[in-house]
């Protein structure tokens, strides 16, 4: 996994602050592969309640500012229809929180 412990802590903190302490965070995509270089940070955040668009945009902007790299953020909840990318994120990703 190509995230520092500090970066992982920043991500977990932002997710908990906006989506609740029970939010689960998955890192997926190229950052999971230690052999690859560069790339944005792909995240799936699972919340207990359906996230509002503004919440998603707030977390994405905050993370991009704090981490200094592009972040692709997908949010999910029990009320949201699951998409193929959500399935892939859970299957191939690494849970952060």
**Can you give the CATH number for the domain in which 28 is found?**
3.30.460.10
Distance CA 86, CA 9 (A): 22
Distance CA 8, CA 49 (A): 23
9: domain range?
A: 5-95
Q: Residue 97 pLDDT more than 60?
A: no
Inter-residue contact 73 to 60 (CB < 8 Å): yes
User: For the chain, how many structural domains are there in total?
Assistant: 1
What tens digit of pLDDT does each residue of 7-26 get? 999 999 999 999 999 999 99
Q: What is the dihedral of CA 79, 27, 11, 49, to 10 degrees?
A: 10
């Amino acid at each position: 996994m190509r995230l520092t412990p500090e970066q992982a802590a920043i991500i977990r903190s932002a997710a908990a602050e906006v989506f609740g302490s029970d939010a689960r965070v998955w890192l997926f995509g190229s950052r999971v592969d230690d052999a690859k270089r560069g790339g944005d940070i792909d995240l799936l955040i699972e919340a207990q309640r359906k996230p509002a668009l503004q919440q998603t945009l707030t977390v994405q902007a905050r993370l991009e500012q704090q981490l200094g790299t592009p972040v692709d953020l997908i949010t999910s909840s029990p009320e949201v229809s699951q998409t193929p990318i959500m399935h892939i994120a859970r299957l191939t990703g690494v849970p952060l929180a």
